[in-house]
Structure 1
Amino acid sequence: MVENDVKNRALSEEELQDLVASSDAGARNPAGMVGLLLATVAVVWSLFQILLASPLANYVLPGDLINNSRQIHLAFAIFLAFMAYPALKSSPRHYIPIQDWIFALLGVFTALYGLIFYQKVVDAGGLADDVDKWFAFLGLLILFEGARRALGPAMALIATIFLAYVFFGSSEWVTDVIRWKGASLKKAMSHMWITSEGVFGIALGVSTKFVFLFVLFGALLDKAGAGNYFIKMAFGALGHLKGGPAKAAVVGSAATGLISGSSIANVVTTGTFTIPLMKRVGFSSEKAGAVEVASSVNGQIMPPVMGAAAFLMVEYVGISYVEVITHAFLPATISYIALVYIVHLEAVKNNMPTLGNRVVSMGKTIGGMAAFFFGFAALCYGVQYPVGWVVSALPEGAGLVMSLLIFIAYVALLWLASSVPDLEPDDPNAEEVELPVVGEIYKSGLYFLLPIVVLVYFLMIEQKSPGLSAFWATSLLFVILLTQRPLKAMFRGESDLFNACKAGVVDLTHGLIDGARNMIGIGLATATAGVIVGTVTLTGVGQVMADLVELLSGGNLILMLVMVGLLSLVLGMGLPTTANYIVVSSLMAGVVVELGAQSGLIVPLIAVHLFVFYFGIMADVTPPVGLASFAAAAVSGGDAIKTGFVAFFYSLRTVALPFVFIFNTDLLLIDVTWTQGVLVFITASIAILVFTAGTMGWFLTKSRLYESIALILVAFVLFRPDFVMDRIQPPFTQAAPADVVTVLGEASEGDELRLTVSGPDYDTGEIKETTLVLPVGAGSGEERLTDTGLLLMIEDGLAKMDEPAFGSPFSSSLANFDFYGDEPVQITEVQAPVHQMAKEIVFVPALIFLLLIALMQRARMSREGVPA
């Protein structure tokens, strides 16, 4: 229905909000006692999650509730899903049919089955009996129906296919490549519902512990007025530039994307204001929608929330939250830099007019924004010093003192905000567009930064858990929502304090309701994705996927990565960010690691997870399913399919970056020093701008084809200096496999040797290869080899291997080799590191070449009389 509408007209504000509600929070809003009941359930869910994340949880909540919090989380999500989401488009919107009540209550019972019969399940060791299996099966059916309503058919369909594979994967009509032995209903239901391997696995646990608090934090921050403040500030800073509305859309979407878990909500929230203004300065409906789509979807790759994927990566990759967002930061930042440059080039190419009558230099704008971001970062970092002084001076009462100081800072900033009028949303269709003046409006929302400072401080400086960090930031938002209106009224000398206090309570209540309703889809997505994860662990289909990709790619590494990217894109279609990351990482992450190792590419697991995540979110952009593109077209009135294709073109850098950081992990700031990190940031920013200029066909002026190709080559060299340096000076020297002990003895401590291991596959008997990286420690060659756990026998010039001891460093890497077959497992290649010139030397000729292209274009502009 939406597709047909957007081809003909832009939707009204009411229809747009209904579009967001139907996709993110449910389209049903019954009135009367039923509506009050649903609001109460949503508020209770939010309060339960806040209490669960608080330091008081172990003192207030019974142990059974804490241990079974995933079941309670899912029970709330299922109940509200059947209450808020109609079964069909023709289903009633203003009351709840009796069958939905039945489904909802059955869903609550089956979700809480493990809690209600906790002792029985524990005594059985997590194995389902004949009664358990039928309730588990009923629970899965209800879960799939709830997911279909809240997330669309794609998620439920994919989960159903995987569940069918569990039961029927042993059938003769299933091809040999993916056939497995199959499972009984009792075994499958034990795995999927009774244990923590399936529905109640890691993904639902992350949703319960972390994601809810961050979604609630975003909802409360938006309810407080921060969303409008961010957009106003972005327009005040950038709206007067050429293509200013588009640049403001990018920055505003980046700011809202920090706290938003939904591409569609991001599109509609910022797009209702930005898209009409983009069209006003000359962007077509499709291009205006595409800019909003590209910038909104990019919000999902921007730390700290990343559509909840950041918290899942902590569990799946096994590294800290701080490490995850550190690795994700640079690609996301330069991707946004490139998007700002894309809209700038579009504006320059089409000589678009500017909005308003203010003239501000680009230098001042960039300098002011840089000063703000660096100042904010310095504030977040510098807070630790006064906190440290307070803790050392008052170790017992430090918490109380810090709370008081934060409240004083809040009151002072609120007093500053009361000196200027409250910000009201602008009308983008007004005859005269008055751009906000940053110097006049910045005071009105500075206090919104306090909860973000608290969140960043606890996450990055104190390195507390994401759940506890979000709890303290959310607690501050409770205070802000309850007090900002009455305190402003008091500072302004207004007398109506009662209504101001009442409005604060209403704002907080609506924020709690919005947070809960926004979590319905995420809760069901993580639970349903648990079926897919459970299928992978039960059947070993992940290894099958690796074999399939290897067969289709013919062992070619680049082709393999392309295929994994396409599979991630297809699997992500129609799924929300959180769900598609779980699906594609469960199936594809291991494929990249294994096949990369077989090709001699050692890829850190975080790089692989970010690779599949980037391609998964591109499904929100790409037709025919791109939900964000349809939402943007609903705002702009343009063609949805064309909007999607233009948005995909604008998102080319989001497609290219994963391939770059798979081969050059410096972009993820892995094992780099501060100085190296700064250099990587500068060169990567230049590279992404040059790549953008090459793909857009415009640098200083319209580029000729050979200039565009040259620009893309320069970008490649800046992104991959190691590729060029390795051709000039190989990083390794070859040694005979039989001499591996000697080579280890001669290597310097801290070096890394690469060994290529070849042998028969345990399952198929076919010869396969993998690459091991041996860190060189202290001691002799024999001692260093012993430390690795590898067992070698040198016979007839061959370095044959025995199975490494269980738990040794490479036991898991070599687990799929058959050490007892007729063909030996052996080392076929030894690569010892050699001294290589710094790869950064390559930047010099690349930048000189870039300067030559710039001089050529400037000379052509002079000849043609084009103004610089």
Structure 2
Amino acid sequence: MSRTSKEITTDNRQEEELSNDQKELLEKYDQESRFRSFKRGMALLITVIAVAFSLYHLYTSYFSGPVTLKHRSLHVGVALVLIFLLYPAFQRLKRSKLHWYDIIFSFLALSTTVYMFVEYLGIVNRGGLPNQWDVVFATILIVLVLEAARRVTGWALPLLAILFILYGLFGRNLPGIFRHRGFDWEQLSNFLYTTTEGIYGTAIGVSATYIFLFILFGAVLSKSGMGQFFNDISLALAGHTKGGPAKVAVLASGMLGSINGAAVANVVTTGAFTIPLMKKVGYQRNFAGAVEASASVGGQILPPIMGAAAFIMAEMLGMPYSQIALAAILPALLFYIGIITQVHLRASKDGLRGIKRADLPRVKEVMKERGHLLLPLLFLMYMLFFSGRTIIFSAFLTIIVTILVAMIRKTTRMSFKDIVEALEMGARNTLGVAIACAAVGIIVGVATLTGFGLKLANGIVLLGGQSLFLTLVFTMLACIVLGMGLPSIPTYIITATMAAPALVELGIQPFVAHMFVFYFGIFANITPPVALASFAAAGISGGDPMRTGFQSMKLSIAGFIVPYMFVYSNSLLLMDTTWLEGAVVVLTSITGVVMLGAGAEGYLFKKMNVFIRIVAIGGALLFMNPSFLTDMIGFSIIAAVILFQYIGYKKETNNSEVVM
């Protein structure tokens, strides 16, 4: 390995240190990362609680646990305790000091769980007729969930939950279709606390099972050095190609993003390594930041893990996870093909080269050193797709396998301290998702109780005038606006509850409708004016945040088109299709995405004028609603553009040779 190669991998080994250097940037754009920092006694107490929290979920995943309400109540209660200990009430407060009211909040949070355990039989026997203490503890829990959500996710989610609470209490006074019979506080709070339709609903159920385990799996993988492996193998495979560092960013961020599902954190950690490399080979800083932002966000639509959202989707739809993951493969690949296309064409247009092979790690060396870390991922896919075991058991076993596999080599071997830190990290990383799911439980609970979801769906359909395309556009806008202020998982749950039914009402299959809203809720992270992933990337690249955001949208253009494509043709999701039809769909969709990227970038073999760009994009869009006629027209247009570009390129090449 050459000297420069060693330097690159050394930089890569400093990933954890670099993320500390970028801590201020991460906290600026990712509120979930704004932890308190304690020393000695309090730090030890938090470690003990967090590790016990992780061990409890590992135990229940193998041996099963208490009944549903008790299990979910314990999950929420301990998450609330950790949040009040770790997150200050206001950002101006010292991060090293714990205030008296946070201790009170922590004990109150535990009291709601203790009450659920002690009074469980009484709650069940009362059957929706609460006593005074039921209402008291329900009120305490609702207030604590709203406050914890404010601390961890910001104001948007708790304010939305408060609006829904007010709607539940006073909706009887509203005019029109959104009027309901009305509920008093006793009825509303009891429904949110003592049923599996409110705070302890499906969202928290998934958080307390699948999500916690897969976030813990990601933490264990991170401790084993998987992030470094992704960076090194991406460098070895693509670093030497045209614009190589940008392709490295796409590959590494996509793979890591699928596992951790944290777009902003992924931008800051991986981007600290990839963005400077992109700038070094000549990529403009806004473009470099946009590449990292787009690739990091796209990880959440990439199987096998999809940032844990696929598990929520499986639970809400009652579908096997494996079916969802398989259906999501082609759209996700199209998204990344679109980014890679633009990255490559930008490098060709600007004459950017890659990194010299001699200065890069070799595939053989990388695989020898850390290639065994792929074994847990392969084992996970086997367990999920072929073993017939439950997702929860598969996740538990994969975590154990990861620790054992990491022992194979000294460089990846985890000490007892590393394992404890991974358990603590897993619990900490779950807090944002857990509290968001609890707050979403309030919103979904009120919507269920009042019938708001169905009324909103009817309103969207009415606004769209029974037009599928207009309804899709309105639904897309609603998802993007909602996603600008909320984390991606609660965004998906809310839109799946309230917006997806509008699409189902127009005859779209439920899974397709859920995938549509899921995509656009995620892409809010790169859509100005509030594009947190893009803004974080701009903080690293030194670019303009808004320009980086718009450049991210341009790079992700395939992601904005593909959802419309699979709504109009389910074959893109490989549903209800033959092998031949599937092959045709793969060919046409890849061709369309490549030409869409060429049109967006304005370059194929040579620069395109505005007219050719429009024609190329138009030809690509003809594949949006697949049929034999539109496919043939699209292929004809694209073939003409390619031929025209190639002839022009050859002429320019020949002329330059004559001049020389």
Which TM-score tier does this pair reach, normalised by the shorter chain? Answer: over 0.9
* C-alpha contact (below 8 Å) 1:661/1:667 kept by paired residues: yes
One-letter code aligned to 1:16: Q
**1:403 alignment counterpart:** none
**2:443 alignment counterpart:** 532
CA distance in 2, matches of 1:101, 1:154: 25
* C-alpha contact (below 8 Å) 1:238/1:244 kept by paired residues: yes
Q: Which has the higher contact order (CA 8 A, sep 6+)?
A: 2
**Counterpart among 13, 16, 20 of residue 22 in structure 2:** 16
Where structure 1 has 5 or more consecutive residues not aligned to the other structure, the ranges are: 1-10, 359-433, 490-499, 597-601, 726-841
**2:595 alignment counterpart:** 690
Shift of 1:640: 1.8
Going from structure 1 to structure 2, the CA distance change for 1:26 and 1:43 (only over 3 Å counts) comes to farther
**1:565 alignment counterpart:** 476
**1:94 alignment counterpart:** 96
Shift of 1:674: 3.3
CA distance in 2, matches of 1:111, 1:338: 48
**2:360 alignment counterpart:** 435
One-letter code aligned to 2:169: F
**1:862 alignment counterpart:** 650
**Counterpart among 505, 512, 525 of residue 416 in structure 2:** 505
* C-alpha contact (below 8 Å) 1:25/1:521 kept by paired residues: no
One-letter code aligned to 1:857: Q
**2:258 alignment counterpart:** 258
CA distance in 1, matches of 2:136, 2:73: 17
* C-alpha contact (below 8 Å) 1:31/1:95 kept by paired residues: no
**1:456 alignment counterpart:** 381
One-letter code aligned to 1:555: Q
The structure with the greater share of residues assigned to strand is 1
**2:9 alignment counterpart:** none
Shift of 1:864: 2.8
TM-score normalized by the length of structure 1: 0.71
CA distance in 1, matches of 2:33, 2:129: 36
One-letter code aligned to 1:197: E
Shift of 1:67: 5.6
CA distance in 2, matches of 1:19, 1:111: 36
CA distance in 2, matches of 1:590, 1:614: 16
**1:48 alignment counterpart:** 56
Going from structure 1 to structure 2, the CA distance change for 1:82 and 1:683 (only over 3 Å counts) comes to same
Shift of 1:20: 3.6
* C-alpha contact (below 8 Å) 2:622/2:633 kept by paired residues: no
Q: Deviations for 1:813-834, whole angstroms, at most 9, x for unmatched residues?
A: xxxxxxxxxxxxxxxxxxxxxx
Matched residue of 1:93: which SS?
A: coil
Shift of 1:199: 0.5
**1:123 alignment counterpart:** 125
One-letter code aligned to 2:463: L
Calculate the aligned-residue CA RMSD, in Å.
2.1
Does 1:157 pair with 2:62? no
Shift of 1:706: 3.0
Shift of 1:245: 0.7
Matched residue of 2:215: which SS?
A: helix
* C-alpha contact (below 8 Å) 2:135/2:190 kept by paired residues: yes
CA distance in 2, matches of 1:126, 1:269: 48
**2:11 alignment counterpart:** none
Going from structure 1 to structure 2, the CA distance change for 1:157 and 1:268 (only over 3 Å counts) comes to same
Does 1:444 pair with 2:444? no
CA distance in 1, matches of 2:278, 2:354: 10
Matched residue of 1:488: which SS?
A: coil
* C-alpha contact (below 8 Å) 1:16/1:634 kept by paired residues: no
* C-alpha contact (below 8 Å) 1:244/1:354 kept by paired residues: yes
One-letter code aligned to 1:590: P
Matched residue of 2:260: which SS?
A: coil
One-letter code aligned to 2:567: I
CA distance in 1, matches of 2:72, 2:405: 30
* C-alpha contact (below 8 Å) 1:683/1:719 kept by paired residues: no
Shift of 1:575: 1.4
CA distance in 1, matches of 2:113, 2:486: 22
**2:4 alignment counterpart:** none
Shift of 1:682: 2.7
Shift of 1:44: 0.5
CA distance in 2, matches of 1:13, 1:474: 24
**1:276 alignment counterpart:** 276
Shift of 1:662: 0.6
* C-alpha contact (below 8 Å) 1:262/1:576 kept by paired residues: no
Going from structure 1 to structure 2, the CA distance change for 1:67 and 1:475 (only over 3 Å counts) comes to farther
**2:640 alignment counterpart:** 852
**1:547 alignment counterpart:** 458
CA distance in 1, matches of 2:402, 2:354: 37
Q: Deviations for 1:206-265, whole angstroms, at most 9, x for unmatched residues?
A: 111111111110110011001101111101111111211111100001110221121111
* C-alpha contact (below 8 Å) 2:229/2:371 kept by paired residues: no
* C-alpha contact (below 8 Å) 1:25/1:84 kept by paired residues: no
Q: Deviations for 1:625-664, whole angstroms, at most 9, x for unmatched residues?
A: 2221222122222222221121122122111111111111
Which has the higher Rg, Structure 1 or Structure 2? 1
CA distance in 2, matches of 1:849, 1:552: 35
Matched residue of 1:865: which SS?
A: helix
Shift of 1:439: 2.6
Matched residue of 2:176: which SS?
A: coil
TM-score normalized by the length of structure 2: 0.93
Shift of 1:703: 1.8
* C-alpha contact (below 8 Å) 1:275/1:635 kept by paired residues: yes
**1:738 alignment counterpart:** none
CA distance in 2, matches of 1:439, 1:188: 61
Does 1:588 pair with 2:499? yes
* C-alpha contact (below 8 Å) 2:18/2:269 kept by paired residues: no
**2:548 alignment counterpart:** 643
Shift of 1:94: 1.1
* C-alpha contact (below 8 Å) 1:154/1:573 kept by paired residues: no
Matches within 5 A, 1:308-323: 308-323=308-323
* C-alpha contact (below 8 Å) 1:572/1:584 kept by paired residues: no
State the number of aligned residues. 638
**2:8 alignment counterpart:** none
Shift of 1:12: 7.6
* C-alpha contact (below 8 Å) 1:127/1:194 kept by paired residues: no
Shift of 1:690: 1.4
Shift of 1:445: 1.0
CA distance in 1, matches of 2:58, 2:618: 51
Q: Deviations for 1:158-195, whole angstroms, at most 9, x for unmatched residues?
A: 11111111112122xx3424222211111101211111
Percent identity, aligned pairs only?
Answer: 36
Shift of 1:353: 3.2
Does 1:488 pair with 2:410? yes
Going from structure 1 to structure 2, the CA distance change for 1:239 and 1:562 (only over 3 Å counts) comes to same
Shift of 1:357: 5.3
**For structure 1, which segment, 105-114 or 225-234, has the greater mean C-alpha deviation from structure 2 after superposition?**
105-114
Shift of 1:122: 1.2
CA distance in 1, matches of 2:42, 2:175: 51
CA distance in 2, matches of 1:195, 1:276: 51
One-letter code aligned to 1:860: G
Shift of 1:26: 4.0
Going from structure 1 to structure 2, the CA distance change for 1:14 and 1:572 (only over 3 Å counts) comes to same
CA distance in 2, matches of 1:342, 1:520: 36
**2:7 alignment counterpart:** none
* C-alpha contact (below 8 Å) 2:69/2:200 kept by paired residues: no
Shift of 1:470: 0.7
**2:10 alignment counterpart:** none
**Counterpart among 16, 21, 35 of residue 27 in structure 1:** 35
* C-alpha contact (below 8 Å) 1:615/1:655 kept by paired residues: yes
* C-alpha contact (below 8 Å) 2:18/2:272 kept by paired residues: no
Matches within 5 A, 1:613-632: 613-632=518-537
**1:185 alignment counterpart:** 185
Shift of 1:51: 0.8
Does 1:578 pair with 2:489? yes
Matches within 5 A, 1:135-150: 135-150=137-152
Matches within 5 A, 1:63-462: 63-64=66-67, 68-171=70-173, 174-356=174-356, 434-462=359-387
CA distance in 1, matches of 2:417, 2:53: 17
* C-alpha contact (below 8 Å) 1:593/1:608 kept by paired residues: yes
Does 1:713 pair with 2:618? yes
* C-alpha contact (below 8 Å) 2:199/2:438 kept by paired residues: yes
Q: Deviations for 1:314-344, whole angstroms, at most 9, x for unmatched residues?
A: 1222211111111111101111111111111
CA distance in 2, matches of 1:125, 1:109: 21
